[in-house]
């Protein structure tokens, strides 16, 4: 490998970002790995009454009360099951800790900027506002979710509205 490619590679690497890939049903989604605090199993969630259905409740994360959101319900997936494989990704969003329930975590991917395509206008359930793009990886397509925007959005009702 000669020097020029080295430099080019390094430059490209600098712009590459790493994503955690998880699955909801048959679809593959990705979020910025830097937002992820930890991954744990789904257990011991205390239901909170009078909240939207996709908010499963709260759980105890080493002494901190953390809300748990089921993205499968939020995204209107047909099959929502809780089992040993159900995984909670604990993310850090704007100084808040939130757990999101997904069907499984597959791997960590590095995507270069040219692998990320802009998200088309679509979606009633998942507004393209909450997407940072679509990642193409050979024959796979990853839906890259802007987890900050999604979790702090009004429709998630996770954050107190100022007006209230």
Token pair listed for 112:
């270069």
CB of 17 to another protein, least distance (A): 25
Is the CB of residue 70 less than 8 Å from the CB of residue 129?
Answer: no
Binding to another protein in span 20-49, by CB under 8 A? 44, 46-49
Strand spans (E) along the chain: 17-24, 27-32, 36-41, 55-61, 64-70, 87-93, 96-102, 104-111, 116-117, 131-137, 140-145
Binding to another protein in span 44-73, by CB under 8 A? 44, 46-53, 57-60, 62-67
CB atoms near residue 103 (< 10 Å): 21
User: What's the helix, strand, coil split of the chain in %, to 5?
Assistant: 20, 45, 35
Size of the site for another protein (CB under 8 A): 26
Give dist(CA 125, CA 55) in Å, integer: 16
CB of 64 to another protein, least distance (A): 7
Residue whose CB is less far from another protein, 46 or 112: 46
Residue whose CB is less far from another protein, 80 or 159: 159
* Sole binder of another protein in the list 78, 139, 154, 160 (CB under 8 A): 160
* Sole binder of another protein in the list 21, 71, 87, 98 (CB under 8 A): 98
Q: Is the dihedral of CA 23, 80, 91, 164 positive or negative?
A: positive
Binding to another protein in span 103-142, by CB under 8 A? none
Is 147 an interacting residue with respect to another protein (CB under 8 A)? Answer: no
Is 158 an interacting residue with respect to another protein (CB under 8 A)? Answer: yes
CB of 152 to another protein, least distance (A): 11
The residues of the shown chain that bind another protein, judged by CB under 8 A, are 44, 46-53, 57-60, 62-67, 96-98, 157-160
């Amino acid at each position: 490998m000669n020097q020029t490619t080295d430099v080019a590679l390094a430059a490209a690497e600098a712009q590459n970002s790493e994503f955690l890939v998880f699955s909801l049903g048959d679809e593959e989604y990705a979020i910025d790995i830097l937002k992820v605090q930890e991954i744990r199993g789904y257990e011991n969630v205390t239901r909170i009454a009078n909240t939207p259905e996709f908010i499963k409740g709260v759980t105890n994360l080493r002494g901190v009360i953390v809300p748990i959101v089921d993205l499968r319900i939020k995204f209107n997936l047909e099959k929502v099951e809780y089992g040993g494989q159900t995984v909670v990704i604990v993310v850090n969003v704007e100084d808040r800790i939130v757990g999101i329930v997904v069907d499984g975590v597959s791997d960590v991917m590095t995507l270069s900027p040219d692998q990320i395509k802009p998200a088309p206008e679509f979606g009633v359930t998942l507004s393209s506002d909450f997407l940072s793009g679509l990642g193409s990886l050979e024959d796979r397509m990853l839906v890259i979710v802007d987890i900050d925007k999604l979790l702090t959005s009004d429709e998630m009702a996770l954050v107190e509205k100022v007006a209230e």
